Structure 1
């Protein structure tokens, strides 16, 4: 087995995260000590690690595929966008600072050292490390100082599999065009191709596969089928592909889709729920009705709060409450429910204070120290388990907190209003446990059908993609390609 194997894609969403996850489970099944790695990730959907750090959500799923707790070394550089031109930079799981795109480009030399330090630690502990690239290796404007794709592969002498998505069309152009834009040494580093999301008769594709191998001199290692109804947590972009369509849904949950919406996988268990319709809406004008309104996490709480008001969500929520509806806030959404949000240091923009929605008697002050921890406990008013993780930079205080929503590791969390209509918590992933999901939906007025077992569903998805890789990968071609790479038989 190679000590390292990297997966790069011809485009974003070509299937890199999925293939790395499949390889991690495949190698684990063979008794190999394997770990995932992504040098640099840009995502607002993150996870808290066992060592108290923060990494991209996809690497946490890949760690689960390896049977490992997530660790900050698995994604040493995480960029969380704050605006179109700047991001919060997280190194080894901890916040460094906010940098503009230009500033981060200059910082990459330092970031590369963090990447290589994590790499050395992982390769010292595991027999194989499966690496995920970012975007495409053929982005000409990003080649200088690259630490996410070929720049990393060259630095550690790692073989690369190139994956392309045939479902979008143009798969041969994507592969050949990507190769053409790489240097000779980078081209030699690619040991073969994987074509992803194929539907139809493979016999009709065979002539194209033969041409591709003859044209490039590299093997097609696998043609992976389109797996319908596959569930795996998305790395970043909000996706409704997991929402179940069959059957009548009796309960409507509305989520304002705000510019800095973060940790959207909070809603995956609800999209998969057989009786819940989840509506992500940028404006309340198209909403016909709601049983529960959930204000989601946010990377820029005051900016999203301003957009919330600009779009009329504040009036919609007040009307919703007058008609007896329920409102839940998660993390940044919880902070919005209070009377004020103070940012004296300008951590999320210009320093200042923004008035909250005033639905809970509390105020929040943003602080530079980010709270990163995995939590578990029970509902404060009933012995129902809840578990999740916290990622926030604010500290809330006020009378509303005297009636907490949860008891977590011996401490209070969140708030529940006196009229029982408004609740909030700092916990992400609070719908993941079926018992917790059922209890929260019952609080909001839904009691008819039980929640799905989210963790079991994810495990089934991991096994399904590993089964697909085992069934469709040409192991002989892969082993030959790896042998040729290490023998430098180009």
Structure 2
């Protein structure tokens, strides 16, 4: 069996590639097609742990959910996790191969392409269809040499490409025509159509532009997807663009937006909950009054801890606890709560040690072996079910761990005697409905409205798949994938 392949590329980052791929995966799965998502190269700090014990971008885990299959490292064979403005940890087939700067990684791309094509070959034999997501934009001509993320991959496997543009940004026709203009003739030829994303308004007013676009380029517009409000989907990497105050919220949660924040999807359940107002606090913001501070994961714990101190937010956190406020640390944020973080081998940056916030009696030492696992367990205090995954290099030790936050086969995390400070290595802490309700109750919100973030995400995937049926040329889609009508 050889899978049929369709690639979705975008005129810009955040044009909607991830969402369109997820929608197509669900659209195909509904028709009984065994389909796999695929992203040759992803650059993101939001990661997921796979069934084969590696890590991939969160977007590919969402797409796997849309396809009805378990996430696998072949879905995202190359993952780049930035740890500075010029360098990243390079992860191949789910496991780190080293830290590289941009020049070093460019030289490594020949090896990375071999990994991409190996994953593609395995998926092509195991599935009937592969829906591929590009990265950034194929118009980045400076990255054309040795490209593995967009047209370099498409040319190597000889697959058709759909080009997505975000009309909500403005300039959609210039984006599409300009992108075509900088492609090589063979690359331009493999573009089989356009999808315009996030349209608001009367389609009749847009139609003259669509007619012009088809005449100008000779390419069909496959459809115009509407701006869909209220979707609950995990962002690939970018933090939410806006924050809206929530009337009637009973709990205010503040999350410092570290420069190297990772897995900020940990807060999706809090952001979706009607009883909670959850806001990310950026570098230009004053630290707000709140009930709970949650320190998120970090790809560079010591550097982000220094960033906190530069803004005086360490003092704000300590003052918050003195006045009876709650603090929760997740992964790197948990490490920050201890007395010190040591990195003798320079795993996350320059070798050395950094004083922690001193809210828990423990220390953490970074090591070369990364812990990657899916886990299930209970909250130690309430016995509520909890599930998620661990992705971390550090090992924590100290008296604070004698009072764990979670019971997951072994004890995990720690909790202060007064219950105000707690931390864990578990990503997805708030995702299980039982754990969310218990944690909200611990923080003073009793009888909170029930919320199942997994169900909300799945319903959102269903909505965007419905939009494929309603707004795209499904006859062309069916023909590409060998389906009837």
State the TM-score, normalized to the length of structure 1: 0.95
Deviation at 1:441, TM superposition (A): 1.8
Secondary structure, aligned partner of 2:236: coil
Aligned to 2:212: 211
Change beyond 3 A, Cα 1:178–1:240:
closer
Unmatched tracts of structure 2, length 5 or more:
none
Instruction: Decide whether the 8 Å contact of 1:269 with 1:451 is kept in 2.
Output: no
Aligned to 1:418: 417
Aligned to 2:254: 254
In structure 2, how many angstroms separate the alpha carbons of the residues matched to 1:201 and 1:466?
21
Deviation at 1:352, TM superposition (A): 1.0
In structure 2, how many angstroms separate the alpha carbons of the residues matched to 1:481 and 1:440?
48
Deviation at 1:445, TM superposition (A): 2.1
Change beyond 3 A, Cα 1:211–1:283:
closer
Change beyond 3 A, Cα 1:77–1:211:
same
Q: How does 1:70-469 map to 2 (within 5 A)?
A: 70-240=71-241, 247-282=247-282, 286-408=286-408, 410-469=409-468
In structure 1, how many angstroms separate the alpha carbons of the residues matched to 2:283 and 2:416?
26
Instruction: Decide whether the 8 Å contact of 1:291 with 1:445 is kept in 2.
Output: no
Question: Aligned Cα RMSD in Å?
Answer: 1.6
In structure 2, how many angstroms separate the alpha carbons of the residues matched to 1:246 and 1:258?
23
Change beyond 3 A, Cα 1:283–1:38:
closer
Deviation at 1:169, TM superposition (A): 1.1
Deviation at 1:355, TM superposition (A): 1.1
Secondary structure, aligned partner of 2:429: coil
Aligned to 2:21: 20
In structure 2, how many angstroms separate the alpha carbons of the residues matched to 1:259 and 1:13?
19
In structure 2, how many angstroms separate the alpha carbons of the residues matched to 1:244 and 1:282?
15
Aligned to 2:471: 472
In structure 1, how many angstroms separate the alpha carbons of the residues matched to 2:259 and 2:138?
28
Q: Deviations over 1:318-345 (max 9, x none)?
A: 1111111111100000001111111110
Change beyond 3 A, Cα 1:246–1:365:
closer
Secondary structure, aligned partner of 2:329: strand
In structure 2, how many angstroms separate the alpha carbons of the residues matched to 1:9 and 1:439?
41
Deviation at 1:2, TM superposition (A): 6.7
Instruction: Decide whether the 8 Å contact of 2:129 with 2:481 is kept in 1.
Output: no
Q: How does 1:477-488 map to 2 (within 5 A)?
A: 477-478=476-477
In structure 1, how many angstroms separate the alpha carbons of the residues matched to 2:125 and 2:79?
22
Instruction: Decide whether the 8 Å contact of 2:378 with 2:407 is kept in 1.
Output: yes
Deviation at 1:309, TM superposition (A): 1.1
In structure 2, how many angstroms separate the alpha carbons of the residues matched to 1:455 and 1:380?
23
Secondary structure, aligned partner of 2:83: strand
Instruction: Decide whether the 8 Å contact of 2:50 with 2:71 is kept in 1.
Output: yes
Unmatched tracts of structure 1, length 5 or more:
484-490
Deviation at 1:134, TM superposition (A): 0.3
State the TM-score, normalized to the length of structure 2: 0.96
Q: Deviations over 1:277-305 (max 9, x none)?
A: 11211359723411111111000000011
Deviates most, 84-93 or 418-427 = 418-427
In structure 2, how many angstroms separate the alpha carbons of the residues matched to 1:284 and 1:336?
21
